[in-house]
Structure 1
Amino acid sequence: MKIEYKVNAPVSTDQFVELLKASNLAERRPVDDRVCMAGMLANSNLTVTAWWGGKLVGIARSVTDFHYACYLSDLAVHADYQKCGVGRQLQVLTQRQLGAHCKLILIAAPAANDYYPHVGYQSNPRCWVLDRDQCISR
């Protein structure tokens, strides 16, 4: 059996949470907040998934305009399938869905920071984050 890749295939909240727990992303995602996790899936406008049989083993979950910018908000691969090219293929297939000039943008998990230069990303120090519990000052 080989890994099957799908674009915008349905993924249940349970499948998504299980995958995040089996990768290293659960520690930085609100996996105990089912409403949030369901909303993350429902409001993504591009997902590319990797399946081994009926088991979700990888996901690239993005928000994009398909022309200028694509924010790859989750790239998760089950620990048992890491270092087999699954993450790379998820990114390749994500790029194929985008317009010719659309940039792929992501924030790396600390443990994956050294992975991205290896596959062609350039570091950009201009990312800023405003957490929900912070207010924009006037």
Structure 2
Amino acid sequence: MRPVAADNGAAMENPAALRLRYQQENITASEFADILNRSGLGARRPVEDLPRLQRMLDGATLLLTARDAQSGTLLGVSRALTDHAYACYLSDLAVDTAFQGYGIGRALVDMTRKLAGEESMCLLVAAPDAVGFYEKIGMPHTERAFLFPRRK
């Protein structure tokens, strides 16, 4: 477990004065399934298949979390694959819907990019309802990406 940023509570305009802890850490497949479901991304991920989720976590080279600093509740996760030299694929960005709009997703993207390194580009496939978020944070759109869909 490596802290990435101790806390950003002061930067958030959260009426509940939520204080966050961002860190690089491993999480369980059950925790991953839970945050995917609470974010709405569970509809597009195999959340009922915990062994597959565990393989997804095991294959990630960069896993960042956002937690409530007081309770430890997982509020967001960024799961990426990177070589830290040229490319970073941000495979999952999930933030609990009750905490969206407070900068958690933006902070996770920023930290993912920082830890992937300045020489790495960052690529992702946005869920249809998340396109506006990525536009809002200034992520450039590309017309040159291609995709072989998964078979299962």
TM-score when normalising by structure 1:
0.91
Equivalent residues of 2:29, 2:51 under 8 A apart: no
Counterpart amino acid of 2:95?
V
Of 132, 135, 138, which residue of structure 2 is paired with 1:117? 135
Quote the Cα distance in structure 2 between the aligned partners of 1:108 and 1:131. Answer: 14
Q: Which residue of 2 aligns with 1:3?
A: 20
Q: For 1:68-122, what per-residue CA distance to the aligned partner results, in whole angstroms no more than 9, with x for missing partners? A: 1100000000011100000011111112212222111111010011111211211
SS of structure 2 residue aligned to 1:113: helix
Distance apart, 1:129 and its partner CA: 2.0
Q: Which residue of 1 aligns with 2:67?
A: 51
- Could you say what the CA RMSD is over the residues aligned between the two structures, in angstroms? 1.4
Distance apart, 1:30 and its partner CA: 0.8
Structure 2 residue ranges without an equivalent (≥5): 1-17
Distance apart, 1:130 and its partner CA: 1.6
Structure 1 residue ranges without an equivalent (≥5): none
Counterpart amino acid of 1:112?
A
Q: Which residue of 1 aligns with 2:14?
A: none
Which one scores higher on RCO, CA 8 angstroms, separation ≥ 6? 1
Q: How many residues align?
A: 133
Q: Does 2:48 align with 1:41?
A: no
SS of structure 1 residue aligned to 2:60: coil
Equivalent residues of 2:78, 2:90 under 8 A apart: yes
SS of structure 2 residue aligned to 1:66: coil
Counterpart amino acid of 1:120?
G
The equivalences for 1:70-81 within 5 A come to 70-81=88-99
The equivalences for 1:7-46 within 5 A come to 7=24, 9-46=25-62
Counterpart amino acid of 2:19?
K
SS of structure 2 residue aligned to 1:97: helix
Equivalent residues of 2:26, 2:63 under 8 A apart: no
Quote the Cα distance in structure 1 between the aligned partners of 2:61 and 2:150. Answer: 22
Distance apart, 1:10 and its partner CA: 1.9
Counterpart amino acid of 2:47?
V
TM-score when normalising by structure 2:
0.83
Q: Which residue of 1 aligns with 2:112?
A: 94
Q: For 1:29-75, what per-residue CA distance to the aligned partner results, in whole angstroms no more than 9, with x for missing partners? A: 11111111010111100011001122111001000111111000000
